[in-house]
């Protein structure tokens, strides 16, 4: 009887491991919003890490977070690091590419609660008197991340935060005096 229970448990574990292994090894999350503001106004909010505190959804999750900045205040080479509570964890962002009013791309490193790296970017498309801003993130899922994705929808979780961030940027740039 004990042997049968062991065989059933082993089969369940093997089946679970196979299902986890078959999960996608990469992820892509993207959200967009259109703002009644020039691309330059929106670009300025994203290209300067010092401005992120005003609109980042993660800044609101831990008012006691410790932020540090390195390198130039904005553009390629700017670095933003944080150490916060378990909701924001610990990590570092480095702008790897910055094209004025078009693109801000950065390397995102998480140290806690779970280590990982990804690439994130903002693109800006200006038409008429509006700018469409797209925020995306791409990365690889290790085995633990694949297992977590069976129980949590990362697109909804992270994408929901992207939506909040874009809405906050929109509120800031649309309320700013027109130049």
Q: pLDDT tier at 6 (50, 70, 90 boundaries)?
A: confident
**pLDDT tens for residues 58-74?**
888 888 999 999 999 88
**pLDDT tens for residues 36-65?**
999 999 999 999 999 999 999 988 888 899
Q: Per-residue pLDDT for 169 more than 90?
A: yes
pLDDT average, residue stretch 83-97: 93
Chain centre distance of CA 119? 8
DSSP conformation letters of the chain:
-HHHHHHHHHHHHHHHHHHHHTS-SEEEEEEEEEESS-HHHHHHHHH-GGGGGGT-TTGGG-TT-EEEEESSSSSTT-EEEEE--TTT-EEEEEEEEEETTTEEEEEEEEEESS-EEEEEEEEEEEETTEEEEEEEEEEE--HHHHHHHTTS-HHHHHHHHHHHHHHHHHHHHHHSPP-
What class has domain 2-175?
A: alpha beta
Q: What is the pLDDT of residue 22?
A: 67
């Amino acid at each position: 009887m004990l042997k049968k229970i062991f065989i059933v448990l082993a089969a369940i574990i093997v089946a679970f491991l196979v299902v986890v292994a078959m999960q996608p090894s990469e992820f892509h999350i993207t959200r967009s919003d259109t703002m009644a503001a020039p691309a330059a106004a929106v670009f300025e909010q994203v290209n300067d890490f010092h401005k992120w505190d005003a609109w980042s959804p993660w800044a609101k999750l831990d008012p006691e977070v410790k932020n540090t900045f390195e390198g130039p205040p904005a553009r390629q080479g700017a670095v933003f690091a944080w150490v916060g509570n378990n909701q924001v964890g610990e990590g570092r962002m480095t702008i790897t590419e910055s094209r004025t009013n078009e693109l801000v791309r950065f390397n995102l490193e998480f140290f806690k609660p779970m280590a990982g790296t990804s690439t994130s970017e903002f693109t800006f498309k200006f038409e008429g008197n509006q700018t469409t801003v797209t925020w995306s993130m791409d990365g690889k899922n290790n085995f633990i991340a694949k297992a977590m994705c069976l129980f949590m929808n990362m697109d909804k979780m992270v994408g929901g935060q992207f939506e909040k961030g874009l809405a906050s940027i929109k509120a800031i740039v649309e309320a700013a005096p027109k130049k």
